Amino acid sequence: MGSSVHTTSSPSKPALSKSAQVRARLKHPVIDSDGHTVEFQPALRDYIAQIGGPKLAERYRSDGANWYRMTPEQRHSERPLRPPWWALPTRNTLDRATGTFPKLQYERLDETGIDFAVLYPTAGLGAPHIRDEELRRAACRAFNTFHADVFRDYADRLTPAAVIPMHTPTEAIEELEYAVKTLGLKVIMMAGHVRRPIPAIAESVANPTRYAFWLDLFGLDSEYDYDPVWAKCVELGVAPSFHSAGMGWGSRSSISNYMFNHIGHFAAAGEATCKALFFGGVTRRFPKLKFSFLECGVGWAANLYADLIGHWVKRNRKGMENYDPANLNREMFYDLARRYGGKLVEGKLDRLGEGWGLTGTKEDPETLDDWSRCGIEKPEDIRELFVRNFYFGCEADDPINAMAFDSKKLPFKAKLNAIFSSDMGHWDVPDMTEITEEAYEMVEHGLISKHDFRDFVFANPARLWSGMNPNFFKGTRVEESVKKLMADQD
């Protein structure tokens, strides 16, 4: 019989993903400041049972379940919010599993073009907003313990965020202490607001916050003094981040259309909290604090930044003299009315004082300056506080991200702190391997420079996370790169 010779060849390396190809060309790491983990619910419920007991675990329910139990007539009558649905990728089964299993997410990071990722929860996004205090506190503790446990072995490239309830300062501080000191977590996600009942309505309506509520945003007109919470963040070296929903507010209350409710809701929630922190003077009293607002883009931030400056220019303490009714020259106004009013004022000259803006309430001189808490003396002060303290999570597919780097259009040639936020694990990302490549398209399309892109995916995130905790990246894959960046800035 003849013999055949078998030859073997080395297996070819799998082709690099588009994002991996982009990463290979970069001279800096890519830090993702808002990826997601999709909790494995059976294991999570075990944690809730361990922490709160079996009965409490039975009370744990996902948001929106009631909507599905209602008839169309009931929805029309009671106006429940159409909740999120089919919010995770499923056709791409590999990505669906990647979001759930930390080991797989860790192994696939190179495919996504990401060196290090901060991960926020999915079901846990709502935990700090649960109305029932006992369930809320147990759920937050369970989510934090669960995430600390399952990501512990992957800390060099993945770090999960702790969820922090904010219904009272005491509640917030207790969970902050436990999450950071006991569990060793170094990222926190605070509730961005608390829905509180309007007292006059709560006296006569059951469950009033479903239909009538006011938003406690912690910085301005709050029910409590939250300065001890901000002080605790400084002490623990954690940057407050906010990832709360704005669905159900105002116009975002459709009973039938999730997209109608979803578009812009994170931006609305981020703006509300950001504005309250600013006007409440939190950034002035705690200059070291760095706040991040996630999955909301930067378009609203550019608008808010410009609006703050424009409003201050017109309505600063001295500028208010332009609107004080006491400064009206009444004789001149009477003369102009007599000469030019014609039939409009005929027979009414003795009633000119009834005109809106001609008389006014006697305001307390101490309350005339809406900017007093944040200590604005000149418009450049707004730039300092806004750029120093605020960071804005921007998804890869949002072309408005470029606005953050357009110093020609922003007042005082500012650049806003946009931070790369993949949102991997959710429906916004049908293919994880295209995340970084999609973000880099802003460079390819001439919207931003390569230097701007470096700030977006590396320098800004590095400054955010290590700005309050110099050891944030210690032991991680990006430690040396961040150390060099921070040293170059000193």
> Is residue 294 located within the same domain as residue 331?
no
Query: Would you state the structure tokens that stand for residue 320, as one six-digit string?
Result: 């208010």
What are the tens digits of pLDDT across the range 77-117? 989 999 999 999 999 999 999 999 999 999 999 999 999 99
User: d(Cα 454, Cα 323) in Å, to the nearest integer?
Assistant: 46
Q: What is the pLDDT of residue 3?
A: 40
CA-closest candidate to residue 290, choices 192, 384, 389: 389
> Is residue 235 located within the same domain as residue 161?
yes
> Is residue 37 located within the same domain as residue 59?
yes
What are the tens digits of pLDDT across the range 311-359? 999 999 999 999 988 888 989 988 999 999 999 999 988 888 777 667 7
> Is residue 137 located within the same domain as residue 181?
yes
Q: What is the pLDDT of residue 13?
A: 58
Check pLDDT > 90 for residue 65. no
> Is residue 187 located within the same domain as residue 262?
yes
Collapsing DSSP to helix, strand or coil, 242 comes out as: strand
In a domain, 138, yes or no: yes
Residue 362 amino acid letter: K
299-315 helix and 379-389 helix, angle to the nearest 10 degrees: 150
In a domain, 1, yes or no: no
Q: What is the pLDDT of residue 61?
A: 62
Q: Are 346 and 337 in contact (CB under 8 A)?
A: no
Domain of residue 478, CATH code: 3.20.20.140
The residue length of the chain stands at: 490
| Phi, psi (deg, nearest 5) at residue 341 | -75, -30
**Residue percentage of the chain with pLDDT more than 70:** 94
Q: Are 273 and 218 in contact (CB under 8 A)?
A: yes
Check pLDDT > 80 for residue 389. yes
In a domain, 352, yes or no: yes
The torsion defined by the Cα of 373, 374, 375 and 379, in degrees rounded to 10, comes to: -140
Q: What is the pLDDT of residue 1?
A: 38
User: d(Cα 267, Cα 250) in Å, to the nearest integer?
Assistant: 14
> Is residue 331 located within the same domain as residue 423?
no
Q: What is the pLDDT of the chain when averaged over all its residues?
A: 93
The more confidently predicted of residues 5 and 213 is 213
Q: Which domain holds residue 428?
A: 18-315+381-489
Q: What is the pLDDT of residue 6?
A: 40
> Is residue 395 located within the same domain as residue 481?
yes
Query: Would you state the structure tokens that stand for residue 211, as one six-digit string?
Result: 């239909």
Check pLDDT > 90 for residue 179. yes
What are the tens digits of pLDDT across the range 222-280? 999 999 999 999 999 999 999 999 999 989 999 999 999 999 999 999 999 999 999 99
Total count of domains within the chain: 2
Q: What is the pLDDT of residue 359?
A: 73
In a domain, 409, yes or no: yes
> Is residue 28 located within the same domain as residue 94?
yes
Helix (H) or strand (E) segment spanning residue 394: strand 390-394
Number of other residues whose CB lies within 10 A of the CB of residue 231: 15
CA-closest candidate to residue 34, choices 301, 429, 406, 388: 429
What are the tens digits of pLDDT across the range 183-237? 999 999 999 999 999 888 777 777 766 678 899 999 999 999 999 999 999 999 9
Q: What is the pLDDT of residue 88?
A: 93
User: d(Cα 327, Cα 324) in Å, to the nearest integer?
Assistant: 6
Characterize the bridge pairing of strands 116-120 and 158-164. Answer: parallel
Check pLDDT > 60 for residue 135. yes
**Residue percentage of the chain with pLDDT more than 90:** 82
In a domain, 10, yes or no: no
Q: What is the pLDDT of residue 94?
A: 97
In a domain, 376, yes or no: no
Collapsing DSSP to helix, strand or coil, 50 comes out as: helix
Collapsing DSSP to helix, strand or coil, 420 comes out as: strand
CA terminus-to-terminus distance, the chain = 78
> Is residue 104 located within the same domain as residue 244?
yes
> Is residue 311 located within the same domain as residue 325?
no
Check pLDDT > 90 for residue 453. yes
In a domain, 6, yes or no: no
User: d(Cα 60, Cα 44) in Å, to the nearest integer?
Assistant: 11
User: d(Cα 205, Cα 207) in Å, to the nearest integer?
Assistant: 6
> Is residue 406 located within the same domain as residue 307?
yes
In a domain, 323, yes or no: yes
Q: Residue 275's Cα: distance from chain center in Å?
A: 12
Query: Would you state the structure tokens that stand for residue 409, as one six-digit string?
Result: 């259009």
| Phi, psi (deg, nearest 5) at residue 36 | -135, 150
Prediction pTM value: 0.93
Boundary (domain end) residue, out of 334, 367, 400: 367
> Is residue 340 located within the same domain as residue 453?
no
